[in-house]
Each structure stands twice: as structure tokens, then as C-alpha cells.
Chains A and B, each alone.
Chain A
């Protein structure tokens, strides 16, 4: 697969813009050329080795997400955002954690704490140990819609 170097601006971000800029500081962004526009984050050290390579690379660095109509954050990149974000977090209890990791939405009674978040915004979902579990959208009702969750690793087809 071939890749081109892009900047954070090329992602045309509509959400988590500041967090993404922060995480990408001093890093190189590579976008796959072709029908799937996956984006990977590389340290300068890794990029230096990548540049020397004569062969097609299957994958390198940290998978950030994919550019479709807009940029779609990957499950794992959400974890990077959770390390820097302090405004878009929702904490859920043990029961909520189980449901969420099964791919389900979360009723508001499972939410134990949240930042001041506007409805219909994307949010980072954390459990009681502050582990990042995935992404959701806060509904007006206070329930959270499941967008992405780490249970995917079990549900995906081998």
C-alpha cells in the first residue's frame, strides 16, 4: 500500500479538534492512497525508517482512523484523546460497562458522572477505573448511544 504525508488540517475535523492537534504534535500523519483513506500516526523516528523502505508497507504506526465524508476516529485513537481531553467524558458503572462492551447503548442510570456536555455530541466513555472503553453520543434523554466500543475485538469475525 502507498501512503502520502498529510497534516491535521487535511482531516477537516469537526470534533475533538484541539485534542487531535495536541496528540499529533511533533508527529507525522500518513494517509493511505486508494479507496480506503486510513490515517496512521508516526513518530519522527519511525518515519525516518519508513522513508528508507523500498517495499509496500501493510501498516505502520498508530491507526488514527479513516477519512470518509469526515474523519472517523478509530477505537484505539479514542484512547489517545481520552489521555488529553478534559471536557467530553462520561463515566459509567460496572453494569453499564458490560452492556457497552456488548455493543449496546447505555441508559442514563448507568452514568455515574459526566463533564458538561451538550447533547448530540460525541463523548469518550470511561469506566470506574478511568479506562477508556469507546465512543458514544449523548442524547437529550441522558442516555448514551454506542458509536464504537472495545468489545469489537471479541465480536469481530476471525
Chain B
């Protein structure tokens, strides 16, 4: 049973109506199907699927990620196979595979991941770049950095440069990036499905604090991105202050909102707590547990 506090419940009702909020809360209690992303630096989806199915796992392709599978049946932990240890895949939620695909980095490009640890998206970027070009990863937390390093090594990356630093100071790298991924630190409401205790930790202060950090990061992203370059912004939270309102802020800096290329999802809110937002913001998408069967997720593709 997930214990949502009255503050959160009231907000969900304001955003989704009574029935919608009830459905969201119920869906949050459903178990989430595990998923994995094949590391194409080391193997192919076909080969990995065959190997894991021979070991008794049942995999189902994820429609929006050609390298992604849901693990529908497993005889033992998906994190304890030889294939995992030799870096043939990364255990990653299906929605977390979207940002790198939407950013669509090419071999030879210079790409920045502003919140890189523990490395799910950074290693995805490197794989899409065929381990060529350069992917720069930043994260501020030293424990998470160690996990990032371990994942980067296990998956066999060769094109990364990593910094333990606050990415809002990314200008200090003195580089101009072709593309930027910002899977922003957030209040994490979308993760309640995975970790029920998270529900208690959502409060107004946390949302305001996160949105402050997100604004700083978006502002820096605008400065270090080349003209015509793209930023993919995503969070795993529902709070409009960390999603639609950040996109509105990004537009005020000069970013244009672009349609997504690979996923449908639900349109972002046009009206937030009585505040009318520009139509373009609805090009950003949301994923809801009760509508999409995934974790909660928000994503927007922006062009400078």
C-alpha cells in the first residue's frame, strides 16, 4: 500500500481530476515489469535475446526502443547472468530509454550528459554513437560517480570524458556541444512505483528546490549548446513546476519546442493550476502509470 500525503493527493486531483487521481494512485501500486537495454557496443538484440531465452527468460520488445526488451518471465535475477556481467545489457526502465533515442546522437558528435550517474543514459548515448565522437558526462555525487565508472567499464565505453562536478558550471569545460541530454535531478514522483517509500518524501519544498536546480541547468545548457543544437529535457516526476514550467522557462531563454520523433505518450499540460501555457508545450509528452503502464515520466525536445 502506497501512502500518499494529503499535499500530493490534492495536487493529483487538481491535475487529473478525482477519477484520474484515483486511477493514478491505484496504478502506482501495480508491480512494474523489469526491462533491459541491449548494449550494442558488445552484442546485438537478436543474439542477446536468443542467449537469455535459452536460459529461461522471456523477453518482449519495447516498441519505442529497438534495443530494449521487457523481461516478462525470469527464472532468476536478471542482474545475475553471465551476459549481465560481461556487459551485454543494462537494466533500465522502458521510459529511461526514450531520452537518448530522442536526442539521436551520431558517431563523431560532441554530446553532453548533464546528470550522468549511474550511467544508463550515458552508456546508451555512447552505444548510439557507436563508441565514436565524445560523450561528456557530469555528476556531482561521488558515490554515484563510482557506480557510473563501474557501468562505463562493464559496458566497454571508449569515448567518454567524465567530470565529478555540478553541471550548472559546464561552461568551465570551455566546449560547445552538438547535443545535450538533461535527465534532470527531480522530486521523483514517477519512481514511487519502484520505491513506495518515495511517496512520503514528496513535498512542496522538495519540488521548489528541484525546480531551482533544473532552471540553473537549463540556463547553462543554453549557453554551452551550439546554435541549432538540441537539448532533450526529461524528468521522472509529475510536478508541472519541474516539467511544463521549466519548458516555459527554456522558451524564454530562446529554445524552441520540437515534436518528439519516436514516442507518443500523453501531451503535456496546457493549463497548470489555472495558468495558461503556450500551445507548443503540448509537444512535450508525459507518461503515466495508469495510462501508459510505465513509470511516471516527462520529456521534451528543444532546439537552440
Contacts and interface: CB of A to CB of B under 8 A. Distances in A.
A54 B136 CA distance: 13
Interface residues of A, number: 36
Contact of B158 (A43, A49, A97, A101): A43
B157 A52 contact: no
A150 to B, nearest CB: 4
B163 to A, nearest CB: 5
Contact of A54 (B79, B159, B173): B173
7 contacts: A54-B172, A58-B163, A75-B153, A76-B156, A131-B82, A133-B82, A156-B150
Contacts of B134: 45-46, 49
B80 interface: yes
Q: Give the 3 A-B residue pairs with the shortest CB-CB distance, closest first.
A: A150-B85, A60-B161, A58-B162
Contacts of B157: 62
A55 interface: yes
A56 B163 contact: yes
Nearest to B154: A153
Interface of A: 41-43, 45-46, 49-50, 52-63, 74-76, 79, 97, 101, 127, 129, 131-133, 150-151, 153-154, 156, 158
Given A52-B175, A53-B174, A131-B82, A43 B163 contact: no
A49 B85 contact: no
Nearest to A157: B146
Contacts, number: 89
Given A45-B134, A49-B175, A132 B158 contact: no
User: Interface size for chain B: under 10, 10 to 19, 20 to 34, or 35 or more residues?
Assistant: 20 to 34
Determine which residue in A54, A76, A132 has the highest number of CB atoms from chain B within 10 A of its CB, and name it: A76
Given A43-B159, A49-B134, A55-B165, 14 more contacts: A53-B161, A54-B172, A56-B163, A58-B162, A58-B163, A63-B153, A74-B153, A75-B153, A79-B86, A127-B82, A150-B82, A150-B154, A153-B84, A153-B154
Nearest to A98: B82
Interface string B135-151: 01000000001010110
B161 A151 contact: no
B115 interface: no
- Give chain A's interface secondary structure class: mixed
Nearest to A158: B147
Given A52-B174, A153-B85, A154-B79, A46 B159 contact: yes
B133 A50 contact: no
B160 interface: yes
B304 interface: no
Given A49-B134, A132-B86, A154-B85, A60 B162 contact: yes
Contacts of A133: 82, 85-86
A61 B163 contact: no
B110 interface: yes
Nearest to A60: B161
Contacts of B163: 55-58
Nearest to B152: A59
A133 B85 CA distance: 9
B132 interface: yes
Contacts of A50: 161
Contact of A45 (B51, B85, B132, B162): B132
